[in-house]
Amino acid sequence: MKIVVGQGSCGIAAGANKVYAALESALKLLNTDTELTLTGCVGTCYLEPIVDVIDEEGIKTTYVKVTPEMAPEIVEKHIKEKNKIDDYIISQSDKSGIDSQKRIALRNCGIINPECIDEYIQNGGYKGLEKCLKELGPEGIIEEIKVSGLRGRGGAGFPTWFKWNAALGSKDTPKYVVCNADEGDPGAFMDRSILEGDPHSLIEGMIIAGYAIGANEGVVYVRAEYPLAIIRLQEAIDEAEKRGYLGSNILGLDRFDFNLRIKAGAGAFVCGEETALIASLEGERGMPRLKPPFPAQKGYWNKPTNINNVETFANVPWIIANGGQAFAAIGTENSKGTKVFALTGKINKGGLVEVPMGTPIRDIIFDIGGGIKDGKTMKAVQMGGPSGGCIPEHLLDTPVDYDSITKTGAIMGSGGMVVMDETTCMVDMARFFLDFTRKESCGKCIHCRIGTKRMLEILTRICEGEGKDGDIELLEELGHEIKAGSLCGLGQTAPNPVLSTLRYFREEYEKHIYDKKCPAKQCTNLLTYSILEDKCIGCGLCKRNCPVGAIDGEVKKVHVINNELCIKCGKCYEVCRFEAVLVD
C-alpha cells in the first residue's frame, strides 16, 4: 500500500508536515512496508491537509482535513485492519468538483511526487520533448502550437506560436527563453502550485520552446517569497540535468544544448510586464521599456527573447504529446484549451480549478466552488487580478474566454477570480485594489504615478463620507486618461476596478456621495448605530462594552446611543444577543 500526503504550501500551512510526521511514526510502530510519500496541491485547498491511501489494486481513498491525531487511526484501521474510515473520507460533492474539471496544466498536481523525476516520466513526462527532437523539428513544433490555438495564459492572451516564431531570427544570434513566474495576483497561486507540484512540466515546456526558437539558455523568474517552489524547481532542474534532459547534447543527440537557471525576483507586480521583468533580470530596477522593439527582437541583453508564464509552458508538453488538434478541440473558437483559476473570496470551496475555455462563470462558482458562503447572495466576481474588472451577478453566464471577459470590462489576466457577496462595498473594494496598484506602480509614467494617487484620494474621500458632486465624472475621466497614457499593462489596467464598478454599481457611488450611506454597511464613517426599543431588554451588555461610554440606560430599561460620542466601532452590534442594535 501507499500513503500520499499533500504538501503544497497550502497543505503545509494547514499542518500537513505534522500529519506526515505522525503517519511516519505510526507506520514505524506497525512495522509495515507501506510507502509514505508526498505530492503537491490538488487544488482543493479548503480540504487540506489531504491524505490519499492507495491500495495494491491502485484504488485511492482520500481523507480530508486530516490532523496529527487522526493519523494513527488511519494507519491502524485502514492500513492494518483494511477498514476505511468513512467519517474522514472526502464527500461526493467535493470529489465531483474535482472530477468535473478538465486538467491539462494541472494534470500532475496532487498526483505525482514533484521531487521524483521517475513519477513524472511514468506519467508521460519528457515524451513531448523526445518527439520534438526526433520527429518534429523547430518548424514542426511551432506549427503544432499554432494548430493548438494556445494563447498566453499570463495576461493579454497573445498567440503563443506567433511569439515563438517572431523570436526565431538569425540562427547565429544567441536567444533566451524566460518564464515569468512572478505574477503578483491570485493567479500567482497557480504558478506556485505548478512549480511546487509539477516542476518538470514547466522545465519540459521551456526546453521545447528553446529548441523551437534556437535558444540555448532559459531563466525562470520566480518570486523569492515562494521558497518551497524554488527548492522543488531547483531539485527538478538538477534531476533533469542528471538524466540528460538539460545541459549538453540533450537525449544523447548532438543537435541541441539547453541550460536552465532560476532568478529569485523581489516580487514587484510591475515585473509581470515582460520588459520590466527583463530589466530586473539585467540587474536594473523593474521598469517597463518602450515597445517596439519587442522582446522577440531585442529582449534579455538585447537578444531575441521569448517570455511566457508558467501555465503557458505547462500546457506545451501535453500539446506536443497529444497533438495540437486535441488541444484545439477543447474550448471556444478564439479561446482554445483550458484555463486555471484561483477561486477565492466569499466562496465555500476556494482553491485552484481548471476548466475548458467557454465554461460559464456561474458553473465555476456554484458547481465547482460550492456557491456563496453563509447562504448570502452573490454580488459580483472580480477577474484578472488587482487590475481586473468586476462582473455583476446578472452576467454570470458569461463564458470564460478572452473576448467575452474583455467585453464585460474585466480581463482574463493570469486567472484570479475573487467572489463578492451582498456585504461587499463595491466602492471600498475598488479603493482596495487601486491602493495596491498605486503602490506597485514603478512611477515611470506620470499618468500612472500621479493619476492612480488622485483616483485613490477621491475614492478614500467617498468612503469616508466626504464625497462631492462631480467625483464620479472625475474618476471616469482620470481612469480613461491613465489607461491611454501609461506605458505598460499595469497602468493600462489599473483603473479597471473603478471603471467597471462605476459601470455596473454606479448607484452605490451615488448613495455614498449624495445620501451619505453605504448600502453594504461597510464604510464606517457612513454608518449610524441605534437601539430598537421593541427588542432592547436593558441587559446592559452593549453599555458595558462601549469603549467611549456612548450608551446610556438603566438595567431592564431601553438603552440609547449618543451618536455625538459614538465612534462607530460596532462593538454594541457584535455583543448584543437580541438583535436590538440597528446599523443604518
Q: Which of 463, 480, 515 is the last residue of a domain?
A: 515
Higher pLDDT, 416 or 2: 2
**Does pLDDT of 453 surpass 90?**
yes
pLDDT given at position 188 = 63
Tallying the residues shown for the chain, one arrives at 584
Q: Give me the CATH number covering residue 22.
A: 3.40.30.10
**Does pLDDT of 406 surpass 50?**
yes
**Does pLDDT of 48 surpass 60?**
yes
Convert the pLDDT of each residue in 297-320 to its tens digit. 999 999 999 999 999 999 999 999
Average pLDDT, the chain: 93
pLDDT given at position 169 = 72
Convert the pLDDT of each residue in 139-158 to its tens digit. 999 999 999 999 998 777 89
| Alpha carbons within 13 A on the beta-carbon side of 420 | 22
Residue type, 200: H
What does the alpha-carbon distance between residue 54 and residue 79 come to, in Å, rounded to a whole number? 10
pLDDT given at position 183 = 60
**pLDDT classification of 184: cutoffs 50, 70, 90:** low
pLDDT given at position 156 = 75
Q: Which of 38, 71, 99 is the last residue of a domain?
A: 99
Under a CB-based contact definition with an 8 Å cutoff, are residues 157 and 151 in contact? yes
pTM: 0.92
Residue 333 lies in a domain: no
- Identify the H or E element spanning 95: helix 92-99
Higher pLDDT, 169 or 582: 582
* 317 and 365 both lie in a single domain: no
* 387 and 268 both lie in a single domain: no
pLDDT, average across residues 539-562: 95
Q: Which of 142-151, 167-176, 511-520 has the lowest mean pLDDT?
A: 167-176
Convert the pLDDT of each residue in 88-119 to its tens digit. 999 999 999 999 999 999 999 999 999 999 99
* 287 and 348 both lie in a single domain: no
* Assigned C-alpha cell, 157: 492572451
**Does pLDDT of 546 surpass 80?**
yes
pLDDT given at position 154 = 79
DSSP 270: G
Structural domain including 459 reads 426-515
* 294 and 442 both lie in a single domain: no
Residue 507 lies in a domain: yes
Convert the pLDDT of each residue in 205-256 to its tens digit. 999 999 999 999 999 999 888 899 999 999 999 999 999 999 999 998 878 9
Task: Indicate the SS3 state at residue 488.
Answer: coil
* 286 and 146 both lie in a single domain: yes
**What percent of the chain is modeled with pLDDT above 70?**
99
* 173 and 58 both lie in a single domain: no
Count: domains in the chain: 5
| Omega before residue 114 within 30° of 0, cis | no
**pLDDT classification of 346: cutoffs 50, 70, 90:** very high
pLDDT, average across residues 468-478: 97
pLDDT given at position 298 = 92
Q: Give me the CATH number covering residue 558.
A: 3.30.70.20
Write the DSSP string, 336-400. BSEEEEEEEESBSS-EEEEEETT-BHHIIIIIIS-SBGGGPPEEEEEESGGG-EEEEGGGTT-BS
Q: Tell me the Cα Rg of the chain.
A: 27
* Assigned C-alpha cell, 549: 461610554
pLDDT, average across residues 335-352: 94
What does the alpha-carbon distance between residue 148 and residue 136 come to, in Å, rounded to a whole number? 15
Q: Give me the CATH number covering residue 357.
A: 3.10.20.600
Residue 386 lies in a domain: yes
pLDDT given at position 186 = 46
Q: Which of 515, 542, 564 is the last residue of a domain?
A: 515
* 231 and 291 both lie in a single domain: yes
pLDDT, average across residues 438-465: 95
**pLDDT classification of 75: cutoffs 50, 70, 90:** very high
**Does pLDDT of 267 surpass 80?**
no
pLDDT given at position 172 = 74
* 232 and 310 both lie in a single domain: yes
Under a CB-based contact definition with an 8 Å cutoff, are residues 354 and 110 in contact? no
* 191 and 297 both lie in a single domain: yes
* 410 and 437 both lie in a single domain: no
Residue 147 lies in a domain: yes
Residue 105 lies in a domain: no
pLDDT, average across residues 164-188: 79
